Chains A and B, each alone.
Chain A
Amino acid sequence: MSSDVPLTPAPRARRRRPAALRIGGGIHPGLYLAISVTVFAGIIAAWCIATYGGMVDAIFLPSPGDVLGRLGELASDGTLWDDAKASIVRIVVGFAVATAMAVPLGVLMGSFGAGDAAFTPAIEFLRYIPPAAIVPLAILWVGFDETYKYFVIWFGTFFFETLLIMDVVRRVQMELVDIGRTLGHSELAIVRRIVLPAAAPGIWDAARAMLGWAWSWLILAELVGAAEGFGYRIARARQFFQSDTIFGYLLVLGLIGLTIDQVLRFTGRRLFRWAEERR
Chain B
Amino acid sequence: MSKVDIRGLGKTFGRGEREVVALRDAGLQIAENEFVALVGTSGCGKSTLLSILAGLQEASEGSVLLDGHPVTGPGRDRGVVFQTYTLFPWLTARQNVEFALHGEGASKAERRERAAELLAQMRLGEFADAYPRELSGGMKQRVAIARALVYRPQVLLMDEPFGALDALTRRMMQQLLAEVWEAHRLTVLFVTHDVEEAVYVADRVLVMTNRPGRIKEEIPVPLPRPRTPEMLTDPAFVEIRGRVLESIIAEARAAER
- On B, residues with C-beta under 8 Å from A are 54-56, 73-76, 78-80, 82, 84, 86, 88-91, 99-100, 102-103, 131-134, 147-148, 151
Contact = CB atoms under 8 A, between A and B. Distances in A.
A275 B78 contact: no
A135 B90 CA distance: 42
Interface string A171-187: 00101101101111100
Interface stretch (A54-62, A192-200, A208-216): A192-200
A136 B132 CA distance: 52
A35 B141 CA distance: 44
A197 B78 contact: no
A276 interface: yes
B108 to A, nearest CB: 17
Interface residues of A, number: 22
Contacts of A185: 103
A263 B133 CA distance: 25
A175 B90 contact: no
A178 B90 CA distance: 17
Contact of A175 (B75, B82, B134): B82
Given A184-B74, A276-B133, A179 B90 contact: no
A110 B82 CA distance: 23
A274 interface: yes
Nearest to A271: B90
Given A182-B56, A184-B74, A275 B89 contact: yes
Contacts of B88: 176, 194, 197-198
A2 B86 CA distance: 70
Interface of A: 173, 175-176, 178-179, 181-185, 193-194, 197-198, 200, 272-278
B83 to A, nearest CB: 9
A175 B132 CA distance: 15
B130 to A, nearest CB: 11
Nearest to A175: B86
Contact of A184 (B75, B86, B134): B75
B99 A183 contact: yes
Contacts of B148: 182
Nearest to B99: A183
19 contacts: A175-B82, A175-B84, A175-B86, A176-B88, A178-B82, A182-B54, A182-B56, A182-B75, A183-B76, A197-B90, A198-B88, A274-B132, A274-B133, A275-B89, A275-B90, A275-B133, A276-B133, A277-B133, A278-B133
A205 to B, nearest CB: 15
B131 to A, nearest CB: 5
A197 B103 CA distance: 18
A228 to B, nearest CB: 43
